[in-house]
């Protein structure tokens, strides 16, 4: 084979290789662009996490809130037991696209800056019944003949938050169609009278990988 033919063969092979590489590059680029297009289209088609478009929540109560944003809680200090109060929380529902078993899943956690120390008088009352000789209500429920008090001295010195901060509560529809839940604050010891309690709330809208969490909800309560 002549030198000229050898050179032509090399040039032809290089040309074929370059054309093959170019086709491979074009195919890879096309697949990449197609994947990106599908991904963007999928993201664009996903509905908003909450049905109103904006996930939000707020805290309310039965007590008066002044112009400075402080809620005044008037408690009954004359009761046999330490007083407490409840707060109501409303939230937006998640979009039906993110429901679990046909239900929206939204939860809240709480915390506080106020704690108290349990004394040695923590107790609860156990009713005692006479199974065969005791009285009953019209519905057939037994009426206790006396009570006994059990003191839990082992918990003396335990530091307790005024709101339970180690559990999560879930929202549900109430009888008025509001998506709501409640949290108990207390018991409140007399040492906290005239003090200001701060309650922090964090809400989680469960939507899988699209889930949203907001922890900017704060309310202040003056104990009266």
The pLDDT of residue 46 is 84
Residue-level pLDDT, tens digit, the chain, 224 residues = 444 444 443 444 444 444 445 454 454 445 554 454 444 444 557 899 999 999 999 999 999 999 999 999 999 999 888 899 999 999 999 999 999 999 999 999 999 999 988 766 666 677 777 776 677 777 777 777 778 777 767 667 788 899 999 899 999 999 888 999 999 999 999 999 999 999 999 999 999 999 999 998 999 999 99
Contact 59, 199 (CB under 8 A): yes
Q: What is the pLDDT of residue 136?
A: 74
Q: What is the per-residue pLDDT for 122?
A: 60
DSSP string, 105-150: -EEEEEEES-EEE--TT-EEEEEE--TTTS-B-TTSPBPPSEEEEE
Q: In what helix (H) or strand (E) does residue 25 lie, and over which residues does it extend?
A: helix 3-45
Closest CA to 99 of 207, 212, 180, 173: 207
Report the sign of the C-alpha dihedral through residues 121, 124, 129, 135, in that order.
Answer: positive
pLDDT confidence of residue 135: 75
Check residue 33 and give its pLDDT: 47
pLDDT of residue 44: 57
Residues in a beta bridge with 200: 111, 218
């Amino acid at each position: 084979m002549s030198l000229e033919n050898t050179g032509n063969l090399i040039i032809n092979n290089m040309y074929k290789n370059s054309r093959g590489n170019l086709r491979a590059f074009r195919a890879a680029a096309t697949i990449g662009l197609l994947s990106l297009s599908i991904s963007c289209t999928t993201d664009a088609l996903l509905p908003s996490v909450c049905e109103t478009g904006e996930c939000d929540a707020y805290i309310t109560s039965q007590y008066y809130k002044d112009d400075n944003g402080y809620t005044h809680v008037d408690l009954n200090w004359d009761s046999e037991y330490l007083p407490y109060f409840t707060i109501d929380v409303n939230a937006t529902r998640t979009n039906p696209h993110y429901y679990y078993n046909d239900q929206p899943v939204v939860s809240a956690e709480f915390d506080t800056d106020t704690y108290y120390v349990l004394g040695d008088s923590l107790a609860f009352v156990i009713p005692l019944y006479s199974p065969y000789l005791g009285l009953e209500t019209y519905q057939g429920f037994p009426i206790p003949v006396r009570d006994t008090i059990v003191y839990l001295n082992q918990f003396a010195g335990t530091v307790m938050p005024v709101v339970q901060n180690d559990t999560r509560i879930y929202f549900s529809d109430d009888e008025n169609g509001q998506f709501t839940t409640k949290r108990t604050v207390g018991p409140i010891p007399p040492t906290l009278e005239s003090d200001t309690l701060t309650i922090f709330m964090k809400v989680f809208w469960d939507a899988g990988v699209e889930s949203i969490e907001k922890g900017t909800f704060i309310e202040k309560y003056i104990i009266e």
